[in-house]
A and B are shown apart, each in its own frame.
Chain A
């Protein structure tokens, strides 16, 4: 049996096709929102996509079980990078999230998301427990998950910290937790809410309050949310057409090539375009989850589930923000929002899934 035949036969072309269909929609929107006034953004994004595809291919080739052994080094690296960014990071509007590498900026917190998935998968693999974990077993992994979350909160980047926390939570739930422990944690969570509120930064509180009551901050995030809603709603069924979104083109929409790019899709392509994008995402995530049930080991399954959760959270929060049912927290839309680190991480995730899918045929 020829190995070469197998390599191509067992590649999940459907997954790749779905991914690049979404990337293509993203590029069209990026062109519409920033391409004409700022072509550098458009070309930079293309370079990132090409780089990401290359990295994806590399990730695909190396056996994903290598990731298991690199869980610890990766974890230590991410923690170091997160500390580094706090000390040497570039300060942009009051937050240190970026490390400059020549002309490109790197966001270590993006890498943290995927590291959490890998580390949790590794931990689950080494500490198997059929009946589910109790508090005593959870203390150690919970401690290791809290460190990156606290470091990201310190940047401060509430949105990313929340996503990392949520990914960790999903991983814990998927690995299995005893019912009694689960109830105890739920109670603790509710009790901890007031303290979380106190420790928020002023502008973060303003954002949440202005989400609950948009008239509080008409020029700030309330304004973003309102303009985004107008953009989405005015797209109607069929949309205003490519390059025709008046909200986008007249720059009513702030951050329209990063966090609010979904409003561009919805305004220019209408319900047809926005629901098509959501269906594409749904196909992508369904494929990833079903891959989780077929993977040949638990580590692979956990990676698939974790990555599915990772995409779902980003997509849901980002779109919910654009349609005004979630506070403005600055979470990008996978494969679509402008931003190198994020695109790279998204494609690396796809590389991992392809890897898991392909390797279940090799024994």
Chain B
């Protein structure tokens, strides 16, 4: 064979290599054997001692959670010192005695304590929190008896403090004890049961940032579980602070202006998508979730028919009503379906087939062109324009503006609303799209549902020249531009002229919020809750609450290059112009007031 090794020289070399390899293996194995002799024979009893009652305890040190600040670095979610009562299950000898005494000291049902201790016996070396955030008084009493309570310890820690209570509850969210489901999720290896974890809002979205890294302390204990010495320690790394784009002062004004009415207010910077204000009413005080809350309180808040836990800004889905006319208007101009000056005659109603659709102004607007149709919110103009466009083009433009899908803000469980299409209706109702569906869709009273944040996002894009931004609530370097919509400048100017005329036009639907100090453009909307669009009843307050109209308004200022855009919706509030528009005005006014103060500050500084 050609590659047979027969040469004595080669064979010699091979033997030599084998010998070297053998020595190498022997040396390595001898190291292992010597090490084992040392550990198992000479030091066996030492390790035996460490292992027999596992005298090594590991206690984790909680990391301080990062704060949540507003855009001016004002603290919205802070930490305050608190005390937790913990036990080391392995060191609890007499469960009934300990739990009975703890029950008295904590004024708690000792059966709950027994249950917690017995459950924890499965993992005897993981400390378990028995009571969270106990009072100073209780701390003092327990400390006094601590030496007779082996296995019990009091752990100084931090509790969350939502400084302004219900001011930004839906944005901030709240913490809660980690659930079994969350524990089982793969990525949460850093958690143990009893840890707090963000459940909603920013606390949820930025959990990884805020949490920090737990530290640990390893110490040796004696047979009674008393600390002998600390073997090693790794300090905790505090979590990072999160800075929000929210302006707390504007948020406060929006909340006060909304008062106790159900609804939501959202304000954006149209040129960046930053969220300045997001408030939802009714709200709640997230601090109540931090205390060991009585189940009744939780029950009460979660079963409240007004759903205070819901963030209406991203989860409230309402018919857009006349606000949607802006979408139909830009679709009409962009597709050249209608010219800006082209007049449509409004006799006060419009008949299609067997149905008659009324204009809110029963005696009609007469000959009317786009700017006036927006300003006075003529229904017939948009019925006809909508019919000319057809549902496919309307829904395409609505979709381009972000309707029917989540806006992508950094908050969980956002709803996407409905942007109806032929396919959607077929799937949802199993019936085909009717011409009448297009008519009512054109004035936002069809199947369409939108969230206040979607309106803010879409309208920002229309007033900033066509740039669609993903709304963002966390200050970051990143660019949030989603896309540039191909609208002509002239078309957008017509829309703006119409929106401006809503406020400063002679017959504008929001003319009473006109203020000579600052120019505002906007659009009213009055969403009928009772199905079908009919003429108004003489007095809205005659209707039962749940059938009253939702009031909408979005406004922006200054009109030329908007710096703020505000959306307000008041559930069952009544007319958009009289109910929602003043809220928007209040926020914009405060915006200018604060801006004036800042400018003054800058002038003084210079």
Report which A residues bind B (CB closer than 8 A).
93, 125, 130, 170, 174, 176, 214-219, 222-223, 226, 229-237, 246-247, 250, 252, 266, 270-271, 274-275, 278, 281-282, 285-286, 289-290, 292-293, 296-299, 301, 305, 308-309, 312, 315-316, 319-320, 323, 325
A214 to B56, CA, bound (A): 14
Tell me if B602 counts as interface (CB < 8 A to partner A): no
Q: Do B51 and A289 have beta carbons less than 8 Å apart?
A: no
Q: Do A308 and B40 have beta carbons less than 8 Å apart?
A: no
Write 9 A-B pairs (CB below 8 A) sorted by A numbering: A93-B189, A215-B234, A278-B33, A289-B21, A289-B25, A296-B5, A297-B5, A320-B35, A323-B39
User: Tally of A-B residue pairs with Cβ under 8 A?
Assistant: 154
Tell me if B216 counts as interface (CB < 8 A to partner A): yes
Q: Do B9 and A130 have beta carbons less than 8 Å apart?
A: yes
A61 to B51, CA, bound (A): 49
Q: Do B4 and A297 have beta carbons less than 8 Å apart?
A: yes
Contact among B4, B18, B189, B231 with A215 in the assembled complex (CB-CB below 8 Å): B231
B2-34 interface with A by 8 A CB criterion? 3-5, 9-10, 13-15, 17-18, 21-22, 24-26, 28-29, 31-33
Shortest Cβ distance from B60 into A: residue: A219
Q: Do A232 and B21 have beta carbons less than 8 Å apart?
A: no
Instruction: Give the size category of B's interface with A.
Output: 35 or more
Residues of A within 8 A of B47 (CB): 229-230, 232-234
**In the complex, what's the smallest C-beta–C-beta distance from A296 to chain B, in angstroms?**
6
Q: Do A236 and B40 have beta carbons less than 8 Å apart?
A: yes
Q: Do B56 and A230 have beta carbons less than 8 Å apart?
A: yes
Tell me if B300 counts as interface (CB < 8 A to partner A): no
Tell me if B50 counts as interface (CB < 8 A to partner A): yes
Residues of A within 8 A of B48 (CB): 233-234, 236
Given A305-B21, A312-B28, residue A271 in contact with residue B15 (CB < 8 A): no
Tell me if B435 counts as interface (CB < 8 A to partner A): no
Q: Do B40 and A274 have beta carbons less than 8 Å apart?
A: yes
Tell me if B46 counts as interface (CB < 8 A to partner A): yes
Q: Do B40 and A222 have beta carbons less than 8 Å apart?
A: no
Tell me if B217 counts as interface (CB < 8 A to partner A): yes
Contact among A271, A286, A296 with B40 in the assembled complex (CB-CB below 8 Å): A271
A309 to B20, CA, bound (A): 12
Given A176-B13, A266-B36, A316-B29, residue A217 in contact with residue B51 (CB < 8 A): no
Given A218-B218, A222-B232, A292-B18, residue A278 in contact with residue B39 (CB < 8 A): no
Residues of B within 8 A of A308 (CB): 21, 25
Q: Do B58 and A236 have beta carbons less than 8 Å apart?
A: no
Contact among B31, B39, B44, B125 with A320 in the assembled complex (CB-CB below 8 Å): B31
Q: Name the prevailing secondary structure of the A interface residues.
A: helix
A316 to B414, CA, bound (A): 54
A309 to B24, CA, bound (A): 9
Residues of B within 8 A of A250 (CB): 54, 124-125
Q: Do B18 and A309 have beta carbons less than 8 Å apart?
A: no
Residues of A within 8 A of B60 (CB): 219
Shortest Cβ distance from A271 into B: residue: B40
Residues of A within 8 A of B25 (CB): 282, 285-286, 289, 308, 312
Given A278-B32, A325-B31, A325-B35, residue A125 in contact with residue B234 (CB < 8 A): no
A172 to B534, CA, bound (A): 90
Given A217-B234, A222-B232, A271-B37, residue A174 in contact with residue B32 (CB < 8 A): no
Residues of A within 8 A of B18 (CB): 289-290, 292-293, 305
Tell me if B233 counts as interface (CB < 8 A to partner A): yes
Q: Do B36 and A297 have beta carbons less than 8 Å apart?
A: no
Given A174-B17, A219-B58, A278-B33, residue A237 in contact with residue B41 (CB < 8 A): yes
Residues of A within 8 A of B10 (CB): 130, 298
Shortest Cβ distance from B187 into A: residue: A93
Tell me if B43 counts as interface (CB < 8 A to partner A): yes
**In the complex, what's the smallest C-beta–C-beta distance from A142 to chain B, in angstroms?**
20
A236 to B44, CA, bound (A): 5
Given A309-B21, A316-B32, residue A301 in contact with residue B14 (CB < 8 A): yes
**In the complex, what's the smallest C-beta–C-beta distance from B161 to chain A, in angstroms?**
28
**In the complex, what's the smallest C-beta–C-beta distance from B40 to chain A, in angstroms?**
4
Q: Do B32 and A323 have beta carbons less than 8 Å apart?
A: yes
Q: Do A233 and B21 have beta carbons less than 8 Å apart?
A: no
Q: Do B231 and A218 have beta carbons less than 8 Å apart?
A: yes
Tell me if B362 counts as interface (CB < 8 A to partner A): no
Q: Which 9 A-B pairs have the closest CB atoms?
A: A233-B47, A215-B232, A236-B44, A234-B51, A271-B40, A219-B216, A218-B218, A234-B47, A233-B39
Residues of B within 8 A of A93 (CB): 189
Shortest Cβ distance from B27 into A: residue: A316
Q: Do B15 and A231 have beta carbons less than 8 Å apart?
A: no
Residues of B within 8 A of A130 (CB): 9-10, 13
A270 to B41, CA, bound (A): 9
Q: Do B28 and A296 have beta carbons less than 8 Å apart?
A: no
Given A218-B217, A293-B14, A320-B31, residue A235 in contact with residue B54 (CB < 8 A): no
